[in-house]
Structure 1
Amino acid sequence: MTAQTGRIALVTGASRGIGRACALALAKAGAQVIACGRSRAALEELDDEVFAATGQHATLIPFDITDNDAFDRLSSVLFERFGRIDVLVHAAAISGTLSPVTHHEPKDFDKVVAVNLGATWHLLRALEPLLRQSTAGRAIFLTTGASVTQGRAFWGPYGATKAAMETLVRAWADEIEITPIRAAIVSPGAMRTRMRAAAYPGEDPETLPLPAEIAPLILELADPGKVPPLETISFPDWKLKAAQYA
């Protein structure tokens, strides 16, 4: 038995990168994983790996996170099938075009807002009733470094939407403090992902940690027996502290 045995875990952005690593880690820890992502083929590849490792299949939901009406449909389907959600890991995000603030095309700016901020609100609205059915709901949100959310040249829309997302999550966490739900915000730092490679094409990916390395932190935050802190957790800092006390 592990801390996640019998728990229902939904992961957005599960088709690749950090979301995929989180989904796989939760499945290996015993959770029934609901994997959401844009690519059905990538989700099926994830399911193959989940089945090979656990003998159980994930629940796959190809999902456009900018389709606002889809969130209510998602909530309804999940309630009928599972009745609750124990763990939410919201990893889906886009960086958008890296350019000066005033040079963004309106449609590109609107998409970054829709994916990084709007979808977070829709997700909270749709899934809070399901998280309330858990005896120890855990909601984990992926953000970015403070230097970006506080304002860095060419990262305006991405940094602004991530900063707003953090504020939204903290307000929500304060509102549901009397429930068994607890929220956490994680800044992964530089990792070997497709998003990172697109933003830093000259960087050697071999110098960066693999997304799987964040899995122990996600499992700790999802543990129903522990209460995660609400302040933003930096993965590099957590990894260093964990290594010191190992």
Structure 2
Amino acid sequence: MSRAYEGKLALVTGASRGIGAAVAEALGAAGAHVVLVARTAAGLEEVEERIHQAGGSATIAPLDLAAGDGVARLAAAVGERWKSLDILVLNAAMLGSLTPVPAIDGKEFGRVMTLNVIAQQALLAAFDPLLRASAEAKIIGITSSVAASPRAYWGAYGASKAAFETLLLAYGDEMSNISAIRVAIVDPGATATQMRARAYPGEDPATIQSPAQTADKLMALLAEDFPTGARRRLAGSARGQKEAVGA
């Protein structure tokens, strides 16, 4: 896949660490110019430096996706510099507390839904013109097994991911007859990330796949001529049912 995306523009959310950072670096190595989006500027700068050192190019966009009109301003800034967006990786998400449904904190649940669902719709709306302008745009939405298979204590996060999947697949269906935009839902499976460590403290990260391994599999999917609505799981469970969080 060496330089397969030369001249292409990619945007990755949650790109300061974990799966987002690994995917951004893989896209940069493949020739794409990568717009790196996350709240933490320092983390983005580190990813940008690694991309540059590997011979790629990137632009950082420190942004809280859940705050105000930041997404609209980001899209406007990208649109001033580029004519189209070829790859959009919707990776940013908030886990929230793992708790019984009756004990879910309403304010925290609101924050989870704001980032995991409302901000995702804002991204699709704001970047829709640039995606339509691409000859072959691809959108990858990072999800979780609990979106389709509800599990005790995962109600808030699972509900947000189920809503996210519905939203993204509806958009893909809307685009299927009027543009070249294609959408895929990806469950990375057990991956050694900070979010995973929060959900499963004490788990040995060496027993599950690394973000770089997840990124390699996602890049293989991007290289395919997948149909809109495609669903992929990139890794099996490391320990029985402990497979909900990868991002």
Q: Do these two structures clear the TM 0.5 threshold for a shared fold by scoring above it?
A: yes
Q: Kindly tell me: are residues 101 and 214 of structure 1, through their superposed partners in 2, closer, same or farther at Cα, counting changes over 3 Å?
A: same
How big is the shift at 1:115? 1.0
SS of structure 2 residue aligned to 1:185 = strand
How big is the shift at 1:53? 0.5
How big is the shift at 1:119? 1.1
Percent identical pairs in the alignment equals 43
- Alpha-carbon deviations, 1:192-226, whole Å to 9, x = none? 00000001002111111101112233223333x72
- Alpha-carbon deviations, 1:134-156, whole Å to 9, x = none? 000000000001x4533111100
CA RMSD of aligned residues (A): 1.4
Match of 2:130, as an amino acid?
L
1:84 partnered with 2:73? no
Work out whether residues 209 and 235 of structure 2, in 8 Å CA contact, stay in contact via their aligned partners in 1: no
- Alpha-carbon deviations, 1:164-216, whole Å to 9, x = none? 11111111111000211101110001100000000100211111110111223
Match of 2:49, as an amino acid?
D
Match of 2:153, as an amino acid?
F
Work out whether residues 184 and 232 of structure 1, in 8 Å CA contact, stay in contact via their aligned partners in 2: yes
Q: 2: distance between equivalents of 1:229 and 1:22? A: 20
Q: 2: distance between equivalents of 1:68 and 1:149? A: 30
- Alpha-carbon deviations, 1:92-147, whole Å to 9, x = none? 011100111111221101011011111111111011111011000000000001x4
Match of 1:157, as an amino acid?
A
- Normalised by the size of structure 1, how large is the TM-score? 0.91
Work out whether residues 148 and 155 of structure 1, in 8 Å CA contact, stay in contact via their aligned partners in 2: no
Work out whether residues 220 and 226 of structure 1, in 8 Å CA contact, stay in contact via their aligned partners in 2: no
Q: Counterpart in 2 of 1:170?
A: 169
Q: Counterpart in 1 of 2:132?
A: 132
- Normalised by the size of structure 2, how large is the TM-score? 0.91
Q: Counterpart in 2 of 1:14?
A: 15
Match of 2:18, as an amino acid?
G
Q: 1: distance between equivalents of 2:175 and 2:199? A: 36
How big is the shift at 1:83? 1.6
SS of structure 1 residue aligned to 2:235 = helix
1:117 partnered with 2:117? yes
Q: 1: distance between equivalents of 2:150 and 2:77? A: 39
Match of 2:133, as an amino acid?
Q
Work out whether residues 172 and 228 of structure 2, in 8 Å CA contact, stay in contact via their aligned partners in 1: no
More helix by share: 1
Q: 2: distance between equivalents of 1:211 and 1:4? A: 21
Q: Counterpart in 2 of 1:241?
A: none
Q: 1: distance between equivalents of 2:212 and 2:13? A: 16
Match of 1:39, as an amino acid?
T
Q: Note the residue ranges of structure 2 that are not aligned, 5 or more in a row.
A: 237-247
Q: Counterpart in 2 of 1:185?
A: 185
- Alpha-carbon deviations, 1:32-73, whole Å to 9, x = none? 00000111000010011111101x431000010101411111
Match of 1:170, as an amino acid?
L
